[in-house]
Chains A and B, each alone.
Chain A
Amino acid sequence: MTSDIHVDVRNLSFNRGDRMIYDGLNVSFPRGKVTAIMGPSGTGKTTLLRLIGGQLRAEKGEGEVLVDGKDVGLMARNDLLALRRDKMGMLFQTSGLFTDLNVFENVAFPLRVHTKLPEDMIRDLVLMKLEAVGLRGARDMQPAELSGGMIRRVALARSIAMDPELIMYDEPFTGLDPISMGMIVRLIRGLNKALGLTSLLVSHDVDESCAIADYLCILSGGKVIGFGSPEELKNEGNDEVKQFLTGDPDGPVPFHYPANDYRQDLLGSSK
């Protein structure tokens, strides 16, 4: 059960519409570590998290996604729900706060649904989670009244409410001011240290990711082009990896979505 690998993706191929996202992806995420998943926009980082969470499934024979050694792609619906309830947390790119519930009730939601704890205990747990993200004072506000950064922090508090073993953050830093960003960085690190959480972090912030991640996993063109500690990759990574970490637009990774010739396009000689 407690092998060093928490999430193991084996030989995974996945298409969205006609577009191939992954073609034989192999990657293993170690238990109890923070792994930052990076890569150009549209490479399928969110898709990967959804595959791990079982919200997307690969076709039969198109590879396996093992969480704790079990293939989430083959799980029955109820087993999958139980796995997510007990073991997984996920922070979505757009947060997914319930707009009809206030901040307190949003964080209390998973506790109310999944546990039979008495009200005062739920209250304490929720206030602890809200305190951790610095929003205890905002407990009575509605999501519509919150700023983008506050929404993200509430969503973070909600995703750790059930104390998961594996937590996935999809771009937790976007839209945060430096102070909140520093706080979230410390929080992610702290959760990982204190509880031994396995954390998968999708982010575009090279500096932040290097600061908190034990490992970087760099995706491009449906493949892992670099996996290792930040120092390793900075020193020994190939050109693509280095280009990504320094943010250079010229290099082996194309900045442009595949398109036909620019000049011809402008002149209207092709469709």
Chain B
Amino acid sequence: MINRIAAIGRYGTASIQSIGRAGQLLLNSLLWGGPGSAGFSDLIKQIYSVGVRSLSIIVVAGFFVGMVLALQGYNILVKFGSVSALGTMVSLTLLRELGPVMAALLFAGRAGSALTAEIGLMKATEQLSAMEMMGVDPLKRVVTPRLWAGIISVPLLALLFSTVGIWGGAFVSVDLLGLYDGAYWGNMQNTVIFYDDVIQGLIKASVFGLVVTWIAVYQGYDSVPTSEGIGKATTQTVVISSLAVLGLDFVLTAVMLGSI
């Protein structure tokens, strides 16, 4: 019994310590270094590897999600005779919710896990130690550009996801279901408010980008430097960052809508 309580206690202190280390990592790498602290070419390289390489999965997923949204929305709205609101429904759902959330989740699976594995491997092969011994701070050199790349990429990916999703919705509703295209696009134009809907979605996406990348680099940086440890860290990245995105989404939505 005592043992079990002690085990819970150990787990508790270990978790809190881990949160502390993660916080320290974030402070040290973001406060010390702006986006270009390791050179802009490094930042561009990282944006390419986390952002550009996620483009295809974002485009394909966005198109399908938009198509499904239109299909489901049409079948609901048709019961109330208000299919002309379909464009509004699809676009608001994407811009406010699905764009940021889905882009962040896909980003966690595609780029986050790769970041964790990359940094974990650099640790296991003593690349980080070698850097330290050359008097180079690996936080600044390795972590900072990756964090900024995530913060910059995810909002752009979310915007792309929403855009492609809206096209996917148009394809289903206008081309397949025969909705008048003026209704789809025109009502969307009249109801979507740039500052409320687009910007709030982008703010969400930036926060998700920060959180997902932060979790990914921390998991890699703090991993046990063996193949097993890196595997575990990679899984943790996907699990923790997905849950964090979904949880934070609720909090941010509540704050933005101001209705709780």
Contact (Cβ within 8 A) B127 A97: yes
Q: With contacts defined as CB atoms under 8 Å apart, how many contacts are there between chain A and chain B in the complex?
A: 67
Contact (Cβ within 8 A) B136 A55: no
**Chain A, Cβ-Cβ closest to B121:** A99
- Complex A-B, nearest 5 residue pairs according to Cβ-Cβ distance, in ascending order: A85-B135, A96-B130, A96-B126, A84-B135, A90-B133
A196 CB within 8 Å of chain B: no
Interface of B is mostly: helix
**Chain A, Cβ-Cβ closest to B139:** A77
B134 contacts across to A, CB distance below 8 A = 84-85, 89, 109-110, 113-114, 158-159, 162
The residue from B121, B122, B126, B132 contacting A84, defined by CB atoms under 8 A apart: B132
A63 CB within 8 Å of chain B: no
**With A and B bound together, what is the CA distance between A150 and B137 in angstroms?**
26
Contact (Cβ within 8 A) A92 B137: no
Q: Give residues in B with beta carbon < 8 Å to A.
A: 121-122, 125-127, 129-137, 141
Q: Which residues in window 116-153 of A have CB below 8 A to B?
A: none
The residue from A55, A81, A162 contacting B137, defined by CB atoms under 8 A apart: A81
Contact (Cβ within 8 A) B132 A95: no
The residue from B125, B126, B133 contacting A88, defined by CB atoms under 8 A apart: B133
Contact (Cβ within 8 A) B133 A82: no
Q: Which residues in window 7-59 of A have CB below 8 A to B?
A: 53, 55
B129 contacts across to A, CB distance below 8 A = 55, 92, 96
Inter-chain pairs besides A83-B135, A94-B125, A96-B125, 13 sampled, C-beta below 8 Å: A53-B133, A55-B129, A81-B132, A86-B135, A89-B134, A90-B130, A90-B133, A92-B126, A95-B130, A96-B131, A99-B127, A110-B136, A114-B135
A98 CB within 8 Å of chain B: yes
Q: Give residues in A with beta carbon < 8 Å to B.
A: 53, 55, 77, 81-86, 88-90, 92-99, 109-110, 113-114, 155, 158-159, 162
A77 contacts across to B, CB distance below 8 A = 137
- A55 smallest CB distance to B (angstroms): 6
A81 contacts across to B, CB distance below 8 A = 132, 135-137
A158 contacts across to B, CB distance below 8 A = 130, 134
Known: A92-B126, A94-B126. A113 touches B133 (CB 8 A): no
The residue from B127, B132, B135 contacting A98, defined by CB atoms under 8 A apart: B127
**With A and B bound together, what is the CA distance between A116 and B137 in angstroms?**
18
Q: Among the interface residues B121, B122, B125, B130, which one has the most CB atoms of the partner chain A within 10 A?
A: B130
B130 contacts across to A, CB distance below 8 A = 90, 92, 95-98, 155, 158
14 A-B residue pairings within 8 Å (CB atoms):
A53-B132, A81-B132, A89-B133, A90-B130, A92-B130, A92-B133, A99-B122, A99-B127, A109-B134, A109-B136, A110-B134, A113-B136, A114-B134, A159-B133
- A174 smallest CB distance to B (angstroms): 15
**With A and B bound together, what is the CA distance between A159 and B134 in angstroms?**
8
- A125 smallest CB distance to B (angstroms): 15
A109 contacts across to B, CB distance below 8 A = 134, 136
**With A and B bound together, what is the CA distance between A211 and B130 in angstroms?**
28
**With A and B bound together, what is the CA distance between A44 and B121 in angstroms?**
24
**With A and B bound together, what is the CA distance between A81 and B125 in angstroms?**
20
**With A and B bound together, what is the CA distance between A85 and B121 in angstroms?**
24
A84 contacts across to B, CB distance below 8 A = 132-135
Q: Among the interface residues B121, B132, B137, which one has the most CB atoms of the partner chain A within 10 A?
A: B132
- B142 smallest CB distance to A (angstroms): 10
- A161 smallest CB distance to B (angstroms): 8
